[in-house]
Amino acid sequence: MYARSSTIAAQPSSIDSGVAYLRDEVMSNLPQIEGWVGLSLLADRASGRCIATTAWESEAAVQASRERVRSLRDGLAQSLEGMVQLVEEWEIAVVHRDHPAGDGACTRCTWVQIDPSEVDQMIDTYKATVLPEVENLEGFCSSSLFVDRATGRGVGSTVLANREAMDNTRAMTDRLRTAATRRAGAAVLEIAEFDLAFAHLRVPEMA
């Protein structure tokens, strides 16, 4: 399984318009593209930073969809009154879902860097040590790990039920992250928290 994430610098006041565009326009077009299996939108309503992610059955499907998705991405950026800052493609290495996220769910993302030769070790560490801990967090819904084997970049994401759970688990997550990245030999590049503004995912369990 693979994914494409598009980071958009949006106007915070236009995030609801972007969600409506996803629901009305993007969701009526993506199912027609072979290999598509999901869509989500993370939104920081304070800064306007949004990350739209599409999931695909194969690397070939990601490559074949690039041009068709481009116009949808540009339309999303326009609906958000923003601009596309970054487009990245990933291998989906881990997905574990306890239950679907509901309204008010939030996502904590951690971007890391590791030597490309150690990516498999990072995946093993995530499965063996991170997942058993995070699934016990208050409000846990799901967790995933995306990797770019060529560059050694990765991003781990945990979805929690609401903002209260996000706040209450921050200190525990910091301790887990420190231990896991030290064990894997990974450097933390960035940590960010978002509202899970839209989620329509059919990615199977991969843990």
Residue spans of the domains in the chain: they are 2-201
Confidence of residue 154 (pLDDT cuts 50, 70, 90): very high
pLDDT for 100 equals 82
Calculate mean pLDDT across residues 51-64. 96
Reported as type and span, the H/E element at residue 56 is strand 49-56
Taking residues 170-185, what's their average pLDDT?
A: 92
Cα distances (Å, whole numbers) of residue 61 to 23, 51, 55, 87: 22, 20, 10, 16
pLDDT band at 207 (very low <50, low <70, confident <90, very high): low
Angle at CA of residue 19, ends 14 and 25, nearest 5°: 115
Per-residue pLDDT, 206: 65
The pTM assigned to this predicted structure is: 0.93
Q: What is the pLDDT of residue 52?
A: 97
How large a percentage of the chain has pLDDT more than 90?
87
The closest of 98, 144, 142, 108 to 123, measured between CA atoms, is 144
Contacts (Cβ under 8 Å, ≥6 apart) of 196: 40, 41, 42, 101, 105, 106, 107, 159
pLDDT at 101: 85
d(C-alpha 10, C-alpha 157), whole Å: 21
- Give the bridge partners for 142, in sequence order: 97, 159
Average pLDDT score over the chain: 94
Choose which CATH entry (3.40.50.11900, 3.30.70.1450, 3.30.70.100, 2.60.40.1180) describes domain 2-201.
3.30.70.100
